[in-house]
Amino acid sequence: MKPSDPVLIDEDMLHPGLFVYDLIYNPEKTKLLKLAESHSLRFSNGLKMLLYQGMLAFEHWTGKIAPMEVMFSALKGELKKCRM
């Protein structure tokens, strides 16, 4: 995402009780998620979806249970490198 990218949701669509989900995980909080936060809405980015997709692939190809904590830690570590 580029800082110049617009929010594609009309702010008027944000209402109490709404859960806002943005598949983007880098940046951690997109403009949409910041907007949701400013409206005191619950929200999430796509990092956990990426994690669970990786876990399913790992289990499919290795036949072993995916090491969730190790994989999540590795994902967060790689994202930190991207943000520097």
Task: Give the C-alpha separation, 79 to 7, whole Å.
Answer: 22
Range of the domain at 35: 18-83
At 82, the pLDDT band (50, 70, 90 cuts) reads confident
Residue 69, in any domain of the structure:
yes
Domain count, the chain: 1
Residue 40, in any domain of the structure:
yes
At 84, the pLDDT band (50, 70, 90 cuts) reads low
Cα 17 off chain centre by:
20
Three-state SS at 24 = coil
| Nearest alpha-carbon partner for 14 in 48, 46, 41 | 41
The first and second tokens of residue 23, run together, are 């598949």
pLDDT at 69 over 70: yes
CB proximity list for 28: less than 8 A, separation 6 or greater: 45, 47, 79, 83
What does pTM read for this prediction? 0.81
What CATH number does residue 30 fall under? 3.40.50.720
Residue 4, in any domain of the structure:
no
pLDDT digit string (tens) for 15-67? 999 999 999 998 899 999 999 999 999 999 999 999 999 999 999 999 999 99
Residue 36, in any domain of the structure:
yes
